[in-house]
């Protein structure tokens, strides 16, 4: 019984020593790594948002704004109703109506 306790104590000391060694190595690696430069030329969030809005406005309101009229016209020509479209897409009718409203295709 005393031998088992002695072996357990020795194994605990070995584990603690290994953890101490790993901690010291990690600290040494952190001190040795190069520091990153902080760039001051990053635009402020408000300026970036304004630039994005101007880019979308230059495209004509986004990629879906040009197709909304075409989608509505094709739906009217084909006579597709919301329930059929929902079944084809695998979504509920409410989700399809919401998607159509977001695209500007309100019937």
Whether 15 maps to a domain, the answer reads: yes
For 88, the domain range is 62-107
Distance of CA 61 to the CA centre of its chain: 24
Whether 17 maps to a domain, the answer reads: yes
27 and 68 housed in the same domain: no
What was the pLDDT predicted at 99?
A: 79
Distance CA 53, CA 57 (A): 6
28 and 67 housed in the same domain: no
Distance CA 92, CA 38 (A): 49
| pLDDT tens-digit readout, 56-99 | 666 665 555 555 556 666 666 666 677 777 787 788 878 877 87
**In this structure, how many other beta carbons lie within 10 angstroms of the beta carbon of residue 67?**
14
């Amino acid at each position: 019984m005393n031998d088992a306790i002695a072996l357990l104590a020795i194994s605990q000391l070995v584990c603690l020593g290994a953890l101490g060694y790993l901690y010291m190595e990690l600290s040494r690696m952190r001190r040795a790594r190069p520091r990153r430069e902080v760039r001051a030329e990053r635009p402020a969030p408000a300026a970036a948002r304004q630039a994005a809005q101007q880019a979308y406005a230059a495209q004509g309101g986004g990629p879906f704004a040009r197709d909304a009229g075409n989608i509505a016209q094709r739906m009217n020509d084909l006579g597709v109703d919301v329930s059929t479209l929902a079944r084809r897409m695998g979504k509920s009718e409410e989700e399809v109506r919401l998607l159509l409203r977001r695209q500007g295709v309100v019937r």
